Amino acid sequence: MTKHHLAIAAVAASLALAGPAIAQTPDITIGITTSTTGPAAALGIPERNALEFVPKEIGGVPLKVIVLDDGGDPTVATTNARRFVTESKADIIMGSATTPPTIAVSTVANEAGIPHFGLAPFPITPERAKWSVGMPQPVPIVGKVMYDHMKSKGIKTIGYIGYSDSYGDLWFNDVKNQTGPMDMKVVAEERFARPDTSVTGQVLKLIAANPDAILIGASGTAAALPQTELRDKGYKGLIYQTHGAASMDFIRIAGKAAEGVLMASGPVMYPEGQADTALTKKPGLALNAAYEAKYGPNSRSQFAGHSYDAFEVLKRVIPVALKTAKPGTPEFREAIRQALMTEKEIAASQGVYNFTEKDRYGLDERSRILLTVKDGKYVLAQ
């Protein structure tokens, strides 16, 4: 054999050795279903947009991110999640933008044994607790900042209007459970569907009950509907909105009716007001700077923080998982699940995460603030 042939043989041998090594390090596949069309688009579009500012690789391994629209429909979200499982062989699933489809995605992820990051508040029941965690602030933690404010203002009676679905149920149950021991009482309850274009009848019944304050359990742009109607019909009491409404679109749609609203929010909506020692300040400023540079001043969104923060968490847990398993395997998915429990004080724009087997949200009071609207802008409530 000539020297030339020996050289070719050596190169071929080296490529044969290199080939399997490369093949043994597949991309990390992340399937995301969110609502970029339909009534919940005001939530899902910022979640999708924030993906432009997340890492393209973690731990030296490229991320393959697949995004599908579910339109806020739990049936479509279920189909998307099953596609991630069967077609994409996803290592991680995220979604969706609202509560009902998030429950659907969680069910699929837990059946398949794939880590799931919910991007909307949802009840993480025992059958969904092994593989699901939630990125948004849990309702009881966010609710407490509003109920404490109500107490400080001498509120005794509360009216409630919320979605006629699982998100509305979460808030109605919470306001009853937390305000009762605080010597406050819910005296009226009304519901409306997400696509509704009028809540006049419900608002008139609420006003007739004459509550000192009203809590609106809605999300996205639809949260502006009862806000506007209450003010148009002359209600003068305090109106509280949940973190599901925390976006600039709420002010744009509600207009003058937004003035004086009291809105619970994640700290990403106002990181400038945080102390320099706050762990949420740096990631919040980073996200908002990138987002507003691309989408314009005051385009920041509570919902952009949910998807952005999921990747902040992954920046901590994926390198740990890679030490024991390779992407594309059940062992890697289990390693991610375990790392979610062992990594602590994971700083992100919306809170500092400390997940446990029992606490699938992993957040504390550092994850919420109370805003109000003054002259068309969000400011910290006194």
Smallest CA-to-CA distance from 53 within 226, 291, 218, 258 is with 291
Angle between the 139-152 and 166-179 helix axes, to the nearest 10 degrees? 50
Stretches where the chain sits below pLDDT 70 are 1-25
Smallest CA-to-CA distance from 363 within 182, 176, 55, 133 is with 133
Q: Which CATH superfamily is domain 22-137+298-366 in?
A: Response regulator (3.40.50.2300)
Query: What is the location of CATH 3.40.50.2300 in the chain?
Result: 22-137+298-366, 140-265
Whether 71 contacts 313, CB under 8 Å? no
pTM for this model (two decimals): 0.86
Smallest CA-to-CA distance from 346 within 380, 308, 292, 301 is with 308
What pLDDT is recorded for position 13? 42
- Alpha carbons 66 and 70: distance in angstroms, whole number: 13
What pLDDT is recorded for position 259? 97
- Alpha carbons 290 and 293: distance in angstroms, whole number: 5
What pLDDT is recorded for position 24? 56
What pLDDT is recorded for position 39? 87
Residue 118 is classified by DSSP as: E
Radius of gyration of the chain (CA): 23
Highest CATH level, class, for 140-265:
alpha beta
What pLDDT is recorded for position 7? 41
Please name every residue paired with 5 in a beta bridge, in sequence order, or none if there are none: none
What pLDDT is recorded for position 382? 76
Whether 291 contacts 49, CB under 8 Å? yes
